[in-house]
């Protein structure tokens, strides 16, 4: 199963809607950067999202995670931790996907009920469209769906009886979806994963001084041994591991373990602020792993956000980069880099840092005001 596009209408900070396309729009010359789906249709192996602070990057990842959990992993709306204000009454979620030789489109309209002190989300209406590979004539025809396969409101009464309001009808078309993993919970709280068996090659990539890490069989605490340390193992709780392991070691090894699992089983990995705690070269390594045919044998996809546009200088494609800005009404907008910039001879970081795409860097006037205020505060 492969996701093709995820689209939202009537949605929080993206008041004009938002769409993220997982397919390759530009010409494909390097097959290691994409996965061939059918003839000239390819899906991206890496999707990067950038933009200034408060432009909606994390919100977009949460929306993508929500759609992926529903379609890929058959989660119900009540199984999800939905942040306040992300979904609105009549939010429309559209997901195009490919499964077992058939193209599908799921269009879901979400409703909200106020129950006691919390909100409950449910599906007001859903429609599944379907078409076969033989109907695909070119890249553009992949977005045209005319045949309705199933409408929630017109389902047989027997089926409705067993379908809960918070469960999607898409579950009837996805038996066992690909793996979905993320690091969203670790964005601002970096801690060692107690459920992950330490792979020392992963650990030593970030800290070569560590000889071994294991769990104590009795207390289930973390046991850490450093090279050339005669005192043996140091005992620590998992929450206190950052006292002995660097933030980069914890984050980097955690991501590599998730990558190994996603690569083995195929699927999607979502990483918020990929540059946090990591050296630029190691970030490039994580990206390059997904473009390595010998490792990424299942066509797995990594979706990440970053504040550092220099990271994109090592990404060859332009159609897998999204730039988030906020307009004068403070509405977040997601722009596909390749829709704005055609040239390949200019570094992506130069384009983004120069504010050539208006809104990608802090305004000169705002920077000047901060400097002037600091001068006043210092001299007062």
pLDDT in tens, 61-114: 999 999 999 999 999 999 998 988 889 999 999 999 999 889 999 999 999 998
For the chain, how many residues are written?
Answer: 380
Query: CA neighbours within 13 Å on the CB side: how many for 343?
Result: 6
Q: Please provide the DSSP assignment of 63-97 as one string.
A: HHHHHHHHHHS---GGGS-PPTTTS-TTEEEEEEE
What integer pLDDT is reported at residue 115 of this predicted model?
83
What's the average model confidence in pLDDT over 143-157?
89
Q: In terms of Cα–Cα distance, which of 107, 87, 85, 112 is closest to 96?
A: 107
Sheet containing 2-9: which strands, arranged edge to edge? 18-21, 2-9, 91-99, 102-115, 118-132, 148-151
For 322-341, the pLDDT digits (tens) are 999 887 777 889 999 999 98
Best mean pLDDT range from 10-14, 266-270, 314-318:
266-270
> Comparing 359 with 211, which gets the higher pLDDT?
211
- What Rg do the C-alpha atoms of the chain give, in angstroms? 23
Burial of 380 (0-12, 13-18, 19+ CB in 10 A): exposed
Model pTM above 0.95: no
Tokens encoding 224 = 């850490």
CA angle at residue 139 from 91 to 151, to 5 degrees?
35
Residue 267 has pLDDT above 60, yes or no: yes
For 298-312, the pLDDT digits (tens) are 999 999 999 888 999
- The residue behind tokens 């994580």 is 286
What's the average model confidence in pLDDT over 215-240?
84
CA distance 376 to 380: 6
Q: Coil, strand, or helix at residue 229?
A: coil
Residue 150 has pLDDT above 80, yes or no: yes
CB of 19 within 8 A of CB of 334? yes
For 232-252, the pLDDT digits (tens) are 888 888 878 888 888 888 888
Q: Cβ atoms within 10 A of the Cβ of 363, count? A: 12
Bridge partner list, 92:
9, 109
């Amino acid at each position: 199963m492969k996701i093709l596009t995820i689209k939202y209408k009537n949605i929080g900070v993206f008041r004009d809607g938002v769409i993220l396309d997982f397919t390759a729009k530009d010409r494909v010359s390097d097959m290691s950067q994409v996965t061939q789906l059918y003839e000239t249709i390819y899906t991206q192996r890496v999707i990067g999202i950038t933009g200034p602070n408060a432009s909606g990057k994390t919100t977009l990842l949460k929306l993508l995670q929500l759609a992926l959990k529903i379609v890929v992993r058959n989660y119900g709306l009540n199984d999800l931790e939905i942040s306040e204000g992300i979904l609105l009454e009549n939010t429309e979620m559209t997901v195009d996907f490919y499964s077992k030789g058939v193209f599908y489109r799921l269009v879901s309209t979400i409703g909200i009920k106020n129950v006691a002190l919390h909100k409950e989300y449910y599906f007001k209406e859903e429609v599944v469209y379907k078409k076969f590979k033989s109907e695909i004539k070119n890249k553009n025809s992949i977005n045209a769906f005319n045949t309705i396969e199933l409408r929630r409101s017109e389902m047989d009464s027997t089926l409705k009886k067993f379908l809960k309001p918070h469960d999607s009808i898409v579950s009837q078309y996805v038996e066992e979806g690909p793996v979905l993993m993320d690091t969203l919970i670790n964005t601002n709280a970096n801690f060692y994963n107690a459920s992950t068996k330490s792979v020392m090659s992963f650990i030593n990539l970030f800290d070569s001084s560590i000889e071994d890490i294991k769990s104590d069989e009795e207390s289930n605490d973390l046991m850490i041994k450093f090279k050339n340390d005669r005192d043996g193992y140091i005992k620590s709780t998992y929450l206190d591991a950052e006292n002995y392991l660097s933030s980069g070691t914890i984050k980097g090894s955690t991501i590599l373990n998730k990558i190994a699992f996603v690569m083995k089983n195929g699927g999607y990995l979502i990483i918020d602020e990929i540059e946090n705690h990591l050296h630029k070269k190691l970030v490039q390594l994580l990206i390059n792993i997904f473009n390595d045919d010998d490792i990424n044998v299942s066509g797995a996809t990594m979706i990440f956000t970053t504040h550092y546009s220099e990271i994109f200088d090592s990404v060859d494609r332009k159609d897998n980069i999204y730039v988030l800005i906020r307009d004068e009404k403070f509405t977040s907008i997601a722009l596909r880099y390749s829709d704005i910039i055609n040239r390949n001879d200019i570094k992506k970081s130069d384009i983004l840092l120069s504010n050539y795409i208006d809104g990608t860097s802090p305004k000169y006037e705002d920077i000047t005001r901060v400097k002037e205020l600091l001068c006043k505060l210092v001299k007062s």
